[in-house]
Amino acid sequence: MAEVTIVEVSPRDGFQNDPKLISTEDKVEHIKKLVEAGFDKIEVTSFVHPKKVPQMADAEDVLGQIKHIIPLKKIALIPNERGYERAAKSHVDEVNWVSAATDTFNQKNIGMTIEDNDRRFFEVRKRAKEDQIQFNYSIAVAFGCPYEGGVSEEQVLRQVEKAVDQQVDRITIADTIGYAIPSQVESLMKKVVDMAAGIPVAIHLHDTRGFGLANAYAAYKQGVAIFETAVSGIGGCPFAPGAAGNLATEDLVYMFERMGVKTGLDFEKVIEAADFAAKLTTNKALGRIRHIERKFL
Amino acid sequence: MAEVTIVEVSPRDGFQNDPKLISTEDKVEHIKKLVEAGFDKIEVTSFVHPKKVPQMADAEDVLGQIKHIIPLKKIALIPNERGYERAAKSHVDEVNWVSAATDTFNQKNIGMTIEDNDRRFFEVRKRAKEDQIQFNYSIAVAFGCPYEGGVSEEQVLRQVEKAVDQQVDRITIADTIGYAIPSQVESLMKKVVDMAAGIPVAIHLHDTRGFGLANAYAAYKQGVAIFETAVSGIGGCPFAPGAAGNLATEDLVYMFERMGVKTGLDFEKVIEAADFAAKLTTNKALGRIRHIERKFL
């Protein structure tokens, strides 16, 4: 395998937690910069309740202003049926359904148990199929939960099994709070890839504890070829204490470029988008490569 | 393998580049804190010319003040015969001889070609054997050189071969400027371990580009069980532009603890030593774990 896909999530996971409201105009400009850098799959927003995540209240507007960018597959996170309906009406190409690996996180994040969430998942998955909208099934806190602590592989694989049963279009294993270490990634991702039986498997990485790149490499070695990251390492989850910082996309691009693995991205333009994202946000940017002198890259 | 050795290098590689002169008293207190944390092999200083590295001018004094700490194996870097003589007189347990993988770095670092350096190496290695002083052979800029750029595996393996011929006590592959990526570590370390034929192999890691942990894990997977790092990620090499930051020891300890691999260290006391080191230095501390809320570790 000498090709990977990086799904850029900064417009959603990078922005959602920022205390400063970012204008729709800036969000759209950021997405355009990402498209110029070569990203063709971007999680552009989420259809959550605007009272819960005010930063995402302009989801319809953002999608409206980028609808003419045809090569871009627009992904939106949805927490429930209402979110699905808003997303479908806004012509998204893919919905990202999130189910946590633990009940406590699911309760705090989506306000219901995994079981209740699953019932809605089956229903929404069916509707997305009818509407020909791609369906990504994300499993949050798959490596560790801020409320329950350790998460067993069985907890995650139980969710993977349901996603396989429903023949979703993609399964994403999310290290929501950046708790994973590479040995854990190696072990779990091997089992997930096996169980997925051909359904594309992605990993969503945070760099909270500095293991983002190590985990990306470990996942890649297990056959994972889709990575969810955010330029300049911005972001985090508002309902996950200690979740500051997605893995910085440019650091991952740098690694793959050095390895000779194709990302289809223009590194310098990724850096430009990262610089722009860093300016828009108040989050502490964790990316490393952006701060290295060019001639020493 | 469920055990690793971490050789703490902060008193040498962590301090040497600091523009602020650290007092001998503080250096000794730092070493004592490290010993309390469980380190039994520490690179405590270097016998370089005091005009070249003023921070290390008190090498004799540091060693004099810690000579009563018997369980501690005291390592000192030596660049030449003069350094060896000073080290031997100061009763070090191990000398760390450095040869770069490239001629240009060798010239800038030690002021001679690899060939000239090798001749002295053979001579000093013989004397160390007679004096019953352990001999570590370090290969600097083994993954990338700030002057020559890329470094081939052949360049490194040529040096490894000489070290094996001379039956040194340890061979250390150094990523002096933090340029390595895990695929490179995987490939090179496998070959080094094979060629070393039983001589212990170590890896010396910097975290300049954020790959320190990824590289440590990759090396571990290839059978490397000795790691050179510095608490709180302080340090860098004065003659290697862009070399800021050793891999933070506490981050590596955290990883191994999570993996169930024994380090023999007291994690909380490692953190205490890291906090102390951070206070002593002006270097930007790069370690991550130290800044994570304890309850979320």
Q: Does the beta carbon of A258 lie under 8 angstroms from any beta carbon of chain B? A: yes
Q: Does the beta carbon of B288 lie under 8 angstroms from any beta carbon of chain A? A: yes
Give the residue with greater pLDDT, B238 vs B73.
B73
Our answer to whether residue B237 is catalytic in this structure is yes
Q: B236 pLDDT exceeds 70?
A: no
| DSSP symbol at B206 | B
* Contacts A241 to B, Cβ<8 Å: 293, 296
- pLDDT tens per residue, range A166-205: 999 999 999 999 999 999 999 999 999 999 999 999 999 9
Q: B6 pLDDT exceeds 80?
A: yes
- pLDDT tens per residue, range B163-199: 999 999 999 999 999 999 999 999 999 999 999 999 9
Neighbouring-strand partners of residue B43:
B75
How distant is the Cα of A158 from the closest Cα of chain B, in angstroms? 24
Q: What is the ipTM of this complex?
A: 0.95
Q: Does the beta carbon of A181 lie under 8 angstroms from any beta carbon of chain B? A: yes
How distant is the Cα of B259 from the closest Cα of chain A, in angstroms? 7
Residue A284 confidence (pLDDT): 61
pLDDT tier at A39 (50, 70, 90 boundaries)? very high
pLDDT tier at A19 (50, 70, 90 boundaries)? confident
The mean of the pLDDT values for chain B is: 94
Q: Does the beta carbon of A133 lie under 8 angstroms from any beta carbon of chain B? A: no
Give yes or no for a contact between A228 and A136, defined as CB atoms under 8 angstroms apart: no
Tell me the average pLDDT across A267-281: 95
Secondary structure class of A141 (helix, strand, coil): coil
- One DSSP character per residue, A158-214 reads HHHHHHHHTT-SEEEEE-TTS---HHHHHHHHHHHHHHHTTS-EEEE-B-TTS-HHH
Among the listed residues A53, A45, A55, the one whose alpha carbon sits nearest the alpha carbon of residue A76: A45
- pLDDT tens per residue, range B244-261: 699 999 999 999 999 999
Residue with tokens 């990575």: A227
Q: Evaluate the CA torsion angle B78, B136, B247, B146 in order and state its sign.
A: positive
Nearest chain B residue to A287 by CA: give it.
B210
Rounded Cα distance, B222 and A121, in Å: 42
Q: What are the structure tokens assigned to B23, written together?
A: 């007092």
Of chain B, the percentage scoring pLDDT greater than 70 comes to: 96
Nearest chain A residue to B215 by CA: give it.
A214
The mean of the pLDDT values for chain A is: 94
- pLDDT tens per residue, range A150-172: 999 999 999 999 999 999 999 99
Residue A239 confidence (pLDDT): 58
Q: Does the beta carbon of B21 lie under 8 angstroms from any beta carbon of chain A? A: no
Beta-sheet strands, E only, within B56-200: 73-78, 94-100, 134-140, 170-174
> Alpha carbon of A254 to those of A257, B98, B158: distances in Å?
5, 29, 29
Residue with tokens 């340029």: B179
Report CB contact under 8 Å: A209, B258. no
Ramachandran angles phi, psi of B152, nearest 5°: -80, 155
Tell me the average pLDDT across B212-232: 98
* Contacts A212 to B, Cβ<8 Å: 210
* Contacts A183 to B, Cβ<8 Å: 217, 258-259
Select the residue of B181, B210, B296 nearest A242 (Cβ to Cβ). Answer: B296
Rounded Cα distance, A89 and A87, in Å: 5
Select the residue of B210, B251, B293 nearest A251 (Cβ to Cβ). Answer: B210
Rounded Cα distance, B209 and A90, in Å: 40
Q: Which of A31, A44, A75, A237 is catalytic?
A: A237
Q: Does the beta carbon of B2 lie under 8 angstroms from any beta carbon of chain A? A: no
Residue with tokens 């950046």: A178
Q: Does the beta carbon of A23 lie under 8 angstroms from any beta carbon of chain B? A: no
Domains and CATH numbers, chain A: 5-296 (3.20.20.70)
CA atoms within 13 A on the CB side of B292: 26
Select the residue of A210, A258, A292 nearest B242 (Cβ to Cβ). Answer: A292
A with B: how many residue pairs have Cβ under 8 Å apart? 75
Secondary structure class of B283 (helix, strand, coil): coil
Tell me the average pLDDT across B17-33: 95
Tell me the average pLDDT across B68-91: 97
Instruction: Return the biggest CA–CA distance within chain B.
Output: 54
Q: Does the beta carbon of A149 lie under 8 angstroms from any beta carbon of chain B? A: no
- pLDDT tens per residue, range B124-150: 999 999 999 999 999 999 999 989 999
* Contacts A208 to B, Cβ<8 Å: 288, 292
Tell me how many degrees the CA angle B32-B35-B40 measures, rounded to the nearest 5.
Answer: 140
Q: What are the structure tokens assigned to B125, written together?
A: 């290695």
Q: Which of B62, B213, B219, B237 is catalytic?
A: B237
Q: Does the beta carbon of B267 lie under 8 angstroms from any beta carbon of chain A? A: no
Report CB contact under 8 Å: A293, B242. yes
Nearest chain B residue to A295 by CA: give it.
B146
Residue A1 confidence (pLDDT): 59
Select the residue of B209, B213, B296 nearest A241 (Cβ to Cβ). Answer: B296
Among the listed residues B249, B230, B288, B251, the one whose alpha carbon sits nearest the alpha carbon of residue B16: B230
Tell me the average pLDDT across A75-84: 97
How distant is the Cα of A146 from the closest Cα of chain B, in angstroms? 7
pLDDT tier at A244 (50, 70, 90 boundaries)? low
* Contacts A242 to B, Cβ<8 Å: 292-293, 296
* Contacts A240 to B, Cβ<8 Å: none
pLDDT tier at B211 (50, 70, 90 boundaries)? very high
